[in-house]
Amino acid sequence: MMRAVLTALLLASAAPARAQPTDGGVAPAKPIAAPLTLFVEPGRADLRLIVGVTNPTLQQHVKLWADHVVRELLHEGFTVVDDVKKPHDAEVKLAMAVNTTTHAANITLTIENEGKIVDVIEDVQRKLWQSDLAVGQLVGRFNHSPAMVAFGLKHHELPKIDQAKAHHETATHKFDLGEFDEAVKEWTAAYDLDAKPQFLYNIANSYRRKGEIENNVADLKRAQHFYRRFADNDKTADIKDVSHSIDVLLKKLEKK
C-alpha cells in the first residue's frame, strides 16, 4: 500500500520551475470530486535540506502549512483518513521547495491511486504560501484536477439499472421523433446495461418502422433478427403476426 508523505525541500535557491508563476489561480469552489476519502499521513512534514542548515522555525511553518491544507480539504467536503488501512479513494503527496532568500515556494501536489501517479498540480514561485488565499487556491486546483473529477464521477455514477432507464427514456423520445437510428443506439446502450428482452423488442420495432418508411430490405431483416432475439429471451412472447407482416413486405420489396 502506498504512503502519502508530505515532503518539504528547503533550497538555497528555488528549484527549476516546470510551470508558469501563479500568484493568482483558481478560487476555491465547492468540490467537484467530494465526497471522496483521501489518505494523508498525519502530522508528517519530512523536511530535507539540500543546501543550508536546519531551521526549526521553517520546519514548524511547513508543518502548520500541511495542517492548513488538511483543514481546507475537510472544509471543502473531503474526508481525510490518517490510517492507510482505512478505505480511501486517493493518496496525496505534497512537496515544497522554499527559496530562503525570497521565501517563495515551489509546491507540487501529487495524487496517487493504486501505486500510480494519476495527476500532479504545481504552484511555482508562490509567495505567502501559508496564507488562506494560497492554500485555498491550491486545494481548489486539486479539487478541479482531471483525476479528482474522474474519481468524483465514478463515485457518483448511477447504478446500471438507472443508467439503462435514462437511455430507454431518450430512445423513446427519439423513436417518437422518427429518429430510428438514434433510438436503436440508445436502446442498445440500455440493453448493454440491463439485459431486458423489452429493449430487444424496441430495437426490432425501430428497424421495422425505418424499413417500412424507407422500403429498406436490410432494416426489415434486422428487425426480424431482433424480434427473434426477443422471442428467444422471453418465452411468453408472440411475434407471429409481426413476423408475418414483415415477411409479406419483404417479398413485395424483393420482387421489385
pLDDT at 203 exceeding the cut of 90: yes
The pLDDT, as a whole number, for residue 236 is: 84
The pLDDT, as a whole number, for residue 49 is: 46
Distance CA 226, CA 246 (A): 12
Domain boundaries for CATH 1.25.40.10 within the chain = 160-255
Domain 160-255 annotated CATH 2.40.10.170: no
Going by pLDDT thresholds of 50, 70 and 90, the confidence category of residue 12 is: very low
On the CB side of 186, CA atoms within 13 Å amount to 19
Question: Does residue 206 contact residue 222 with C-beta atoms inside 8 Å?
Answer: no
Question: Does residue 22 contact residue 128 with C-beta atoms inside 8 Å?
Answer: no
- Any idea which residue has 476555491 for its cell? 28
The reported pTM is 0.50
The pLDDT, as a whole number, for residue 256 is: 60
Question: Does residue 32 contact residue 144 with C-beta atoms inside 8 Å?
Answer: yes
pLDDT at 152 exceeding the cut of 60: yes
Reduced to 3 states (helix: H, G, I; strand: E, B; else coil), residue 7 is strand
